[in-house]
Chain A
Amino acid sequence: NAGVTQTPKFRVLKTGQSMTLLCAQDMNHEYMYWYRQDPGMGLRLIHYSVGEGTTAKGEVPDGYNVSRLKKQNFLLGLESAAPSQTSVYFCASSYWTGTNEQFFGPGTRLTVL
């Protein structure tokens, strides 16, 4: 099993450009999450999904959109990138029962110039 994978690993954008980050999991997890990690601020939840076709806002959703068209994929979109969105983005997934242990991907480092 590959677990949770993220594409791409690195990306540099100019202000105003758009891009989509892809997260894929092969563990048949119902829940999927997108976090951003900034120095001194830990992990902050952007959006999450409790199942195929559902999405919900997290702590810092502004400037991002998400889609969960297939159970195994969770896409994070930036429509008009801003320097404040420079960060490391992590995707995670979990089952809906039990402890809901989250399994994280390796991260995507995004720089917006």
Chain B
Amino acid sequence: GENVEQHPSTLSVQEGDSAVIKCTYSDSASNYFPWYKQELGKGPQLIIDIRSNVGEKKDQRIAVTLNKTAKHFSLHITETQPEDSAVYFCAARFYQKVTFGTGTKLQVIP
């Protein structure tokens, strides 16, 4: 089955700095890669996603890059704000099965 590794497990940045979270996947058949943000006491919520036929996607301060050859994808958050503090999960999907990474706890220090 699919295996998704996510790094780092914790990340602290100063407000205004950039944050980068990296994930690797094992199954080359995976074709959809969503990123979820989970705030304390809530369920995960999709923030951005990318399909396997696209190398990069951007939505305001967040962007995701995908390298299919190396089987890794990354989340980039620029100009971080305190409200970006949360746990972020990457995931890889093949049909209806989604495999999640272990999560990154991001702390943005004001």
B-binding residues in A (CB < 8 A): 4, 31, 33, 35, 40-45, 48, 50, 58-59, 90, 92, 96, 99-102, 104-107
Contact = CB atoms under 8 A, between A and B. Distances in A.
A70 to B, nearest CB: 19
B81 interface: no
Contacts of B45: 104
B42 interface: yes
Interface stretch (B11-19, B62-70, B72-80, B98-106): B98-106
Contacts of A33: 98
Nearest to A104: B43
Interface of B: 1, 6, 9, 32, 34, 36, 41-46, 49, 51, 89, 93, 96-103
Given A40-B103, A45-B99, A102-B34, 13 more contacts: A33-B98, A40-B9, A42-B6, A42-B89, A42-B101, A50-B96, A59-B1, A99-B51, A100-B32, A100-B93, A100-B96, A105-B43, A107-B42
A41 B87 CA distance: 12
A43 B46 CA distance: 14
Nearest to A98: B32
Contacts of B102: 40-42
Contacts of B103: 40, 42
B100 A99 contact: no
B43 A107 contact: yes
Contacts, number: 57
Contacts of A45: 97-99
B100 A106 contact: no
A23 to B, nearest CB: 11
A96 B32 contact: no
Contacts of A104: 36, 43-45
B100 A43 contact: yes
B29 to A, nearest CB: 15
A43 B44 contact: yes
A44 B17 CA distance: 32
11 contacts: A40-B9, A42-B89, A42-B100, A43-B89, A45-B97, A48-B97, A50-B96, A100-B93, A102-B44, A104-B36, A104-B43
